[in-house]
Copies of this chain bind each other. A is one copy, B any other.
Amino acid sequence: MRDGRVLSPAAVPVDHLALRRHNLAVVVNRLRADGPRSRARIAADTGLTKATVSSLVAELVELGLVRDGELERDGGIGRPGQTIELDGRVCGLGVEIRPDGVAIAALDLRGTEVIARHVMLDTAGIGAERALDAVAEAVVAAATELRRRGLRIVGLTVAVPGLVDAAAEMLTHSPTLSWREVAVVDGLSRRLTGQVGPVRLENDANLGARAEYATGAAAGCDLVYLSGYIGVGAGIVVGGALLRGADGYGGEVGHLPIGDRSHVCGCGRRGCWETEVGLGALLREVADPGDPLTDMSAPVEQRLAEIRRRAELGDGRTVRGLQAVAASLSIGCSMLADLVNPRVIILGGYFAVLSDFLTPAVETELDRHRLAAGPQGCRIERSTLGFAAACWGGAHIALETVLTDPASTADTAVQTEVLGGTT
């Protein structure tokens, strides 16, 4: 290869069919990164021959993944070329199960959000089976709407706040939802047969990290994403890959024993980090029972806006509460910087909403603590994806198959044609 990089660790021989599948992905990824362009331009950019590109594009059109775009107007002489572009009618779905609701988002192949929905639901209270019923209902409603608009769904990823056993496709334990051993993929696949393509399951912080890696302020960087909600988790991307670990439990920072041991955690132990930086910890610090802030049925955005209002007015208790969170957040971030050496730590969820009260303390601690500043150091950034990050990451994962092996979507194309009649 021109840049001297080698293929994946040499375990599997490559034949000509694999080579063609790989090059199909090359064309799709170039169109995604660079936007619409002519076959001749793709050939020039990739080093593939024009004949090869034409043949690859023909197959991608048949798969419903690319289509003719506008005529090329590059100001040059000669007749304008026909451009090729990604087919915006292909989309991936992400759904997030939160303790107080269900959120859904769909992204098309170009990364544009095509649907976003939220349903309030006491998922922790009603138990897994009834919650999965409600999740399936919300997904079907979204999928129906997407198909009505002519979109084809290539997959669904479910985000959950807890330990995901990647191999068994199960939620092992979520203290936040009070769920244990829930077969989420199996349960939803049964409820959604023929509606959304393959169903996958992933930890919410991992998906937040995946979304930030694709589109956020830290796109393409080694990063740690902190999901700040009732629970706290970390999604870690290094070398372009999510750190999942041997069982899929990687990034489980919420229960690191770095807090004050007088705090009892929902998991039954003491001193977990989450008892100091989780939203519950902040609410306990800043509000008494009966305060509207503690009303779990009110949208979280509204309650956070109220905390922000009080802090801006200089309310002593609110300011002290935020300072306490910032202090503990700083210690955890400093540990993550030492262990992972990310280019960026991204504050997600409620941390993002209140980031101007938290970031300065974290930056000071990172500066004070580190052994040596890296050439570019470690930045602290606020997530711009807000509470949608996990859903977006889920949609990205659903689309990943299309981007890494376009030919594998042939089945979905046929299936959806039968179901939706849209391709």
> Which chain A residues have a beta carbon within 8 Å of chain B's beta carbons?
1-16, 18-19, 21-23, 25-26, 28-29, 46-48, 163, 165, 167-168, 172-173, 175, 221-222, 234, 236, 238-241, 243-253, 255-258, 267, 269, 331, 334-336, 338-343, 369, 371-372, 374-376, 378, 403-405, 408
Contact = CB atoms under 8 A, between A and B. Distances in A.
Contacts of A257: 331, 334-335, 369
B243 A241 contact: no
Given A14-B22, A369-B257, A239 B244 contact: yes
B9 A26 contact: no
A-B pairs, 6 with minimum CB distance: A245-B341, A10-B25, A247-B374, A246-B343, A249-B341, A250-B341
Contact of A342 (B246, B334, B403, B405): B246
B252 A6 contact: no
A372 B246 contact: no
A304 B253 CA distance: 35
Given A15-B47, A25-B10, A372 B172 contact: yes
Given A12-B5, A173-B371, A374-B247, A338 B26 contact: no
- Work out how many copies of this chain go into the complex: 2
B234 A339 contact: yes
A198 B296 CA distance: 61
26 contacts: A5-B8, A5-B12, A6-B22, A7-B7, A7-B18, A7-B22, A10-B22, A10-B25, A10-B26, A10-B29, A10-B403, A12-B26, A13-B47, A14-B22, A14-B23, A16-B19, A236-B339, A238-B238, A246-B378, A251-B339, A253-B338, A253-B339, A257-B331, A257-B334, A257-B369, A269-B369
B258 A238 contact: no
Contacts of A11: 26, 29
B221 A246 contact: yes
Contacts of A243: 238-239, 243, 340
Given A239-B241, A335-B257, A339-B251, A372 B10 contact: no
A8 B10 contact: no
Nearest to A17: B1
Given A9-B29, A12-B26, A173-B371, 15 more contacts: A7-B14, A13-B26, A14-B19, A14-B23, A175-B371, A234-B339, A239-B243, A246-B343, A246-B378, A247-B374, A247-B375, A251-B339, A257-B331, A258-B335, A339-B339
Contact of A163 (B6, B172, B371): B371
A131 B1 CA distance: 39
A267 B371 contact: yes
A253 B239 CA distance: 20
A205 to B, nearest CB: 12
Max chain B Cβ within 10 angstroms of own Cβ: one of A4, A240, A243, A336: A243
Contacts of A241: 238-239, 241
A255 B341 contact: no
Contacts of A21: 1, 6
A241 B18 CA distance: 24
B404 A9 contact: yes
A47 to B, nearest CB: 6
Among A168, A175, A245, A375, which residue has the most Cβ atoms of chain B within 10 A? A245
Given A48-B13, A371-B252, A6 B269 contact: no
